[in-house]
Amino acid sequence: MSGETQNETNHAAAVEGGGGGGGRARLPDFLQSVNLKYVKLGYHYLITHLLTLCLIPIMVVIAVEIAQTNPDEIKQLWLHLQYNLVSVIICSAFLVFGSTVYIMTRPRTVYLVDYACYRPPERLRVRFNQFMEHSRLTGDFDESSLEFQRKILVRSGLGEETYVPEAMHYLPPRPSMAAARDEAEQVMFGALDTLFENSSIKPKDIGILVVNCSLFNPTPSLSAMIVNKYKLRGNIRSFNLGGMGCSAGVIAVDLARDLLQVHGGTYAVVVSTENITQNWYFGNKKSMLIPNCLFRVGGAAVLLSNKSGDRRRAKYKLVHVVRTHRGSDDKAFHCVYQEQDDAGKVGVSLSKDLMAIAGGALKTNITTLGPLVLPISEQLLFFATLVGKKFFNAKIKPYIPDFNLAFDHFCIHAGGRAVIDELEKNLQLTPMHVEASRMTLHRFGNTSSSSIWYELAYTEAKGRVRKGHRIWQIAFGSGFKCNSAVWQALRNVKPSNKSPWEDCIDRYPVQLSS
């Protein structure tokens, strides 16, 4: 194998991931791991309920002391309070005033009332053999590039039912501004129509609109297209986020949350999508061919509210948003980069260092998120390991917190098989935890910033979201960014009407090739 071919294969493996294997665990090792698991659960329970376990004996002692107190002493105390009525009234007034100030200044709770994911029509499906034959017939790719794309497709984790835009189904393809607008309208309006139908919210009730699409930013903007289509009110606060990559969906939610803290009693709609029509790459640079194989049509619309009355019907409440930006580092800044190749053809280049950079961004993100969500038992273990490594033995491995104790469900951006593999390994997750991400990648491909909503819809369709469960949405994007959103279920959540999984959920999970 030539050096160039070997480098291309390594690049694809770095971005897309590869198979791996390991030996079968011996029975004594398995039993030991089970014992350690229960020891850890016991430790976690003890630390979590330590305050309660300490307070119970103290309360028992106080109760016994009160029971042994002379009734005359209790009577004298009551008379003393009656004679100091003014002091009692002043203390009560301060208590009421303080409570009022706290209630008026505390952050508003943001509720996720409902959301909808766009399901493209069946005519836009593309099978692997169709993809390859179409690429060959366009005449834009040499044999080396065609073989490279075939290898990427085989190990990508995508299935045979993903969708590409209508302009890419023609021979030759017909990318144009008009076709890109058509794709944007189909996706955004399709998701919004379903959202308005399911939530019974009138478009005129929307006070805030945030749209994110990284690569297609026409004038008038995508948000203006929505305002025009649904005749939204004239004083709506609309925003259009561009160039922010696959993690922009979390950024859009964060912006909507901040706006909902300022503007009371209103609804916010977040629309997350990507546009492929004008961003298909027709050249032969390997690092720029990978997006052709991974990115597919998709989008989501999310309805948020700060009205306390919506708590009864909302699915989730927003608990945390943590954003990490590594753009100050040159390698991170250039690892997902839109540029022209030597022939002047525009595409998005993915660096072979992408996974290493994503791992660093993830580490920074969870360092901030961990103290907000992890139980004190895990934080103590992490701190103890850090101290031991610093002062006693530099060879001590850093302790990886058990995020299973903080979250019940994980929605990892379906950027590619390598992304999911890396997080599964680094966060020590089980196949069940990453099932939603793998199945979303298989069924819909990489739908960019909307993929985390297809994953949540999968988890709901499986009937796994119960009241009180916490969901961690985590996404990566150009810049380079790693962003997290944490939601808590307010009830046992059922899938909404017209879920993207409603006619195929019984077929999943499917067995994926290694």
Query: Is 91 tagged catalytic?
Result: no
Nearest 5°: phi and psi at 493? -90, 125
Q: How far apart are CA 201 and CA 269, in angstroms?
A: 11
Query: Is 246 tagged catalytic?
Result: yes
- Beta partners for residue 477, in sequence order: 481
Query: Is 446 tagged catalytic?
Result: yes
3-state secondary structure of 433: coil
Q: Which helix (H) or strand (E) holds 480?
A: none
Q: How far apart are CA 345 and CA 141, in angstroms?
A: 12
Query: Is 320 tagged catalytic?
Result: no
Q: How far apart are CA 472 and CA 406, in angstroms?
A: 9
Q: How far apart are CA 471 and CA 109, in angstroms?
A: 17
The single residue of 446, 469, 482, 483 carrying the catalytic annotation is: 446
The single residue of 325, 335, 365, 469 carrying the catalytic annotation is: 325
DSSP collapsed to 3 states, 118-154? CCCCHHHECCHHHHHHHHHHHCCCCHHHHHHHHHHHH
Place of tokens 């002493």: 73
- State the maximum Cα–Cα separation within the chain, in Å, rounded to a whole number: 101
Cα-based torsion angle of the residue sequence 454, 460, 466, 467 in order, rounded to the nearest 10 degrees:
60
How is residue 446 written in tokens?
């990489």
Query: Is 293 tagged catalytic?
Result: no
Identify whether the C-beta of residue 207 lies closer than 8 Å to the C-beta of residue 198. Answer: no
The single residue of 117, 213, 240, 246 carrying the catalytic annotation is: 246
Identify whether the C-beta of residue 350 lies closer than 8 Å to the C-beta of residue 491. Answer: no
The single residue of 442, 469, 482, 483 carrying the catalytic annotation is: 442
The single residue of 11, 409, 433, 469 carrying the catalytic annotation is: 409
Residue type, 141: F
Catalytic positions are 246, 325, 409, 413, 442, 446
